[in-house]
Chains A and B, each alone.
Chain A
Amino acid sequence: MNQFIKETGLICLIALFLGLLTWSFHPGAPDFHKIDLEDGEILLKTALESADPLLWVDARSKDNFELDHIPGAILLNEDDWEYLLAEFMEKWGPDQKVIVYCDSRLCRASKNVAQRLQDELQLNNVYTLHGGWETWTSEQN
């Protein structure tokens, strides 16, 4: 029994040692403290501290939007792009920072909507919210 415990302990120690070695010296090891932002992404904190007026754009489904959304946000998704684009333009102002969000870090809807706003309307001040709705709700709780 003693032998078994010793061997198990040894295996765990070797695994721990190898893990620490990789974490310390591997050139591609992730930095757990640094948040990697994709191109055009903005952190919630940065957005809220911005001096520019914000226009929140919800790129999720209509059902999810109607359930709940960031206060003041407007719905704009690719399910009904033309109709919703008209509503977006009613609210848009040239000095606004447009921030698009979808469900979470994994969804692509906010990226697609932001790209179309840049391509089709030539808007420059367009960002996507890092972490999306999931980040917003976790910050509120």
Chain B
Amino acid sequence: MKIFSLILVLCSPLLLQGQMQFQEIKNQANYKFGDKEVRRIFKFNNDGDYPVTFNSITSSCGCTTTSLEKMTYLPGEEGEIEAIFTIGQREGLQRKKITVLTDDTDFSRYELILEVNIPKIAEINTRLLYWKKDERLDPKTITIDFHPDEPIKITDVKMSNESFKLDMNEVLTGKQYIISVDPGTARNSKNGNLLVKTDFPKDNPKIYFFHLRVQ
């Protein structure tokens, strides 16, 4: 009996479970081009026999906000946490952790994951064209490959320094563009910014930034 009590004491932390039962701890969201935000719902219910109050819900990123209808849930009561992830100009796999703290003394901390994969709308070989001190001043190229599912037009190209000469070719309509940049022959230190404006998305067309520098 004593040995049983000892095992029970040593293992007791493993037996603890929270009253709040979340249907999903990890929530994968779909993204389609042009989305400005992604919203996901984390449903839960109070499976225990006493009320539980949420103390705080925090996210690992300022880009993710959460909302909850009310703070205290009675036994048997269901609820949901809505997470809103603002895309901004993020790309690739995004994994945002949401930490939930309750007043449940047995088990008070839950970690929820919101995951969304944001495909790159454009593959660009480089954003920086840089001619080093001893490098020959040969033209360099920027290649822009737009995502095959989303044909995009380049509508405008603006160069801040006219001594760089540009030549843009649309290799595949709406899919691939190559911009050749000639730094000129004068061996002097200079730089410039190149802005490439597209027609996507319609309400706020994306502008790509490139930097050119001759050392």
Residues of chain A whose beta carbon lies under 8 Å from any beta carbon of chain B: 7, 11, 14-15, 60-61, 63-64, 77-83, 85-86, 89, 94, 106-109, 112, 116, 120-123
Contacts and interface: CB of A to CB of B under 8 A. Distances in A.
Interface of A is mostly: helix
A82 B208 contact: yes
Contacts of A15: 10
B126 A120 contact: yes
B61 interface: yes
Nearest to B9: A11
Given A79-B89, A94-B215, A121 B95 contact: no
Nearest to A115: B92
- Best-surrounded residue of A60, A78, A80 (most CB of chain B within 10 A): A78
B89 A78 contact: yes
Contacts of A11: 6, 9-10
Contact of B88 (A63, A79, A116): A79
Interface of B: 2, 6, 9-10, 60-63, 86, 88-92, 95, 97, 124, 126-128, 130, 132, 193, 206-209, 211, 215
A7 B4 CA distance: 13
Given A77-B88, A121-B127, A123-B128, 15 more contacts: A7-B2, A11-B6, A61-B63, A78-B89, A78-B90, A79-B86, A79-B88, A80-B89, A82-B209, A85-B127, A89-B209, A89-B211, A116-B91, A120-B127, A122-B126
Contact of B90 (A89, A107, A112): A112
29 contacts: A11-B6, A11-B10, A14-B6, A63-B62, A77-B88, A78-B89, A78-B90, A79-B88, A79-B89, A80-B89, A82-B207, A82-B208, A83-B209, A85-B127, A85-B209, A86-B193, A86-B211, A89-B128, A89-B193, A94-B130, A107-B61, A108-B95, A112-B90, A112-B92, A120-B126, A121-B128, A122-B126, A122-B128, A123-B128
A94 B208 CA distance: 22
A89 B128 CA distance: 9
Contacts of B2: 7
Contacts of B207: 82
A107 B211 contact: no
State the 8 A-B residue pairs at the shortest beta-carbon distance, nearest first: A81-B89, A61-B62, A79-B88, A89-B211, A121-B128, A78-B90, A120-B127, A82-B209
A63 B65 CA distance: 15
Contacts of B6: 11, 14
A60 B2 CA distance: 54
Contact of B62 (A64, A80, A83, A116): A64
A95 to B, nearest CB: 10
